[in-house]
Amino acid sequence: MLQTMPGSARLCLIAGVLVLSLSLLNALTAGEFPPALQRAEVLAGMASVGLMLVAALWTRAIPRAAEAAKLSGEQGFQINDALDGALALELAWGSHQFLTATSAASMLVMWDGHVLLRRGLITSDAFVPGAICARARERQELISLVKTALYPGREEFDPVLPGLPSLMVHPLGQRGWVVLGGWSERCFTRSDERWLAGWCERLRTTLDSVGGGIQESHPCPQPGS
């Protein structure tokens, strides 16, 4: 336990235990126990307990970061080959930024029933939006699953990547979604959420402008991510 505590908290805990030990030793070896000694022992005990409490609170204030999960999947970049150049460039740019500047491990973009992009760790399984995606579309707001193990229905996102420890799902109006999976639990920040919401609004506007021009096609695999 001591090895996992911050240095300052560890020092505070050791000082508290030392003060308590010396206080007990002093009380046990004292021949007499006058009121002055009793008051001193009480104060020493309170001081030692206070130091240990500070150490415990200090540890909680600096929590250890969650470890990255061991995720299965192939590192890749698949983009729908029916997209025009400007839209493909927007998707490529945005996905690159999220996968390099945040703790995202995988991204999927769906529009009008077609998967436009998969990037990061990906699978070849067909993604079918379920209850969580429907709720995001109904509310027209981001849904963040900070610890997917606690949420029923998380299997909906196994086709994106099995075992994702955290997820963000943002609707693209009524016609699509962006799904962002993280490497570890609670890995996305408020800043990441705001950034995703802003980019999704920009992407939705771009997709609306192309109308129904996106046709069914096989994704075009690209090297790397």
Measured CA to CA in angstroms, residue 43 lies from 20, 27, 188 at distances of 10, 13, 45
Q: What is the pLDDT of residue 26?
A: 81
Torsion 89-92-98-101 (CA) sign: negative
Q: What is the pTM of this model?
A: 0.69
Q: What is the pLDDT of residue 37?
A: 79
Q: What is the pLDDT of residue 217?
A: 42
CB-neighbour burial class of residue 163 (10 A; exposed 0-12, middle 13-18, buried 19+): middle
Q: What is the pLDDT of residue 10?
A: 80
Q: What is the pLDDT of residue 111?
A: 95
Q: What is the pLDDT of residue 195?
A: 95
50-100 residue pLDDT tens? 888 888 777 665 555 667 778 888 899 999 988 988 899 999 999 999 999
Percent of the chain whose predicted confidence (pLDDT) is above 90: 53
Q: Give the number of other Cβ atoms within 10 Å of residue 10's Cβ.
A: 17
CA distance 91 to 108: 10
Beta bridge partners of 221: 78
What parts of the chain have a pLDDT lower than 50?
212-213, 216-225
Q: What is the pLDDT of residue 33?
A: 73
